[in-house]
Amino acid sequence: MKSKLLLGLAASACLVQSVSAQVATQPGSGAGSGNASEACPRFANRDWPVHLTILARVTSLMDPAHLKPGKEVFAKVVYPIAYEVCALDDDAILYGHVTAASSSKNPDSSELGLVFDHADCRGHLKQEVHLRMIGLVAPPERGTMLHDVLPSEVAGGVQGLPSTSADGIDDNLNASRFPPTIHPGLVVRMPKVTLEPEGAPGCSAKISSAERSVQVVPGSALIFTLQRTARPGR
């Protein structure tokens, strides 16, 4: 219990500080991959410090075989984080929708396009934001400790991911032991799945697989950066 509390306090102290995570885009534009229907901003392909990202938990199944473009989706913020014009408390809702969904066989393939563009900022419900999805983490298997399966890029920043152990807390996870950074396109525990942050229509995120159905199951974590935020009233 004591170690669990210490981990929670350390994570909160790191994440609750006020930060400005808007990224500068380079001049010009580049073509998105896959089904992207327009030229997308050319984001710097750099690693992101974990404490500048938003970790959100998926609460319901996302299956392209049963979804259509326009369908609303939701995720809950795991750790509080305060940006200049949007403070997100734990369990704050991120709102998004499906931009693409396909599932086929012969050959097997599937694709799910997602964009999250609103959030329950503190004092401003469903505020318009622009979130860039840079990571996808599947829930750990039963009996598997997080530190045994997480790559170094995220091992320092997901102590609170849901799992079958005590609320997802792993006493052997020590943020100081790992580089606390995330590279865009990171996918954990989904070996046949790829994530392209601007690969789907409208420069939304594309999750694709060589299997018939790429499912994002409840308990999975989505990792976002905040690219720009619309101030309340604008």
pLDDT tens readout for residues 73-93: 999 999 999 998 899 999 999
Average pLDDT over residues 121-136: 95
Q: What is the pLDDT of residue 120?
A: 98
Domain assignment present for residue 234? The answer is no
Domain assignment present for residue 152? The answer is yes
Whether 111 and 207 have beta carbons less than 8 Å apart is answered as yes
Domain assignment present for residue 31? The answer is no
CA 95 from centre of chain: 12
Structure tokens at 104: 């086929």
Domain assignment present for residue 204? The answer is yes
Share of the chain above pLDDT 90, in %: 50
Count of positions (residues) in the chain? 234
Average pLDDT over residues 161-187: 54
R_g (Cα) of the chain, nearest Å: 17
- The CA-to-CA distance between both ends of the chain, in Å, stands at 45
Domain assignment present for residue 183? The answer is yes
pLDDT tens readout for residues 190-213: 989 999 999 999 999 999 999 888
Domain assignment present for residue 32? The answer is no
pLDDT tens readout for residues 141-150: 754 444 444 4
Domain housing 155: 2-20+38-229
Average pLDDT over residues 97-110: 92
Whole-number Å distance between alpha carbons of 79 and 54: 8
Domain assignment present for residue 102? The answer is yes
**Confidence grade of residue 45 (pLDDT, cut at 50, 70, 90):** confident
Structure tokens at 132: 């860039």
| Cβ partners under 8 Å of residue 219, min gap 6 | 57, 58, 139, 162, 163
- Between 131 and 6, the higher pLDDT residue: 131
Q: Please tell me the total count of domains within the chain.
A: 1
When the pLDDT of each residue in the chain is averaged and rounded to a whole number, the result is: 75
Other CB atoms within 10 A of residue 68 CB? 9
Average pLDDT over residues 173-191: 73
**Confidence grade of residue 116 (pLDDT, cut at 50, 70, 90):** very high
Written as one letter, the residue type at 126 is: K
Task: Look at residue 94 and tell me whether its pLDDT is greater than 60.
Answer: yes
Q: What is the pLDDT of residue 42?
A: 82
Most confidently predicted of 15-29, 140-154, 214-228: 214-228
Domain assignment present for residue 28? The answer is no
Q: What is the pLDDT of residue 167?
A: 40
Q: What is the pLDDT of residue 196?
A: 97
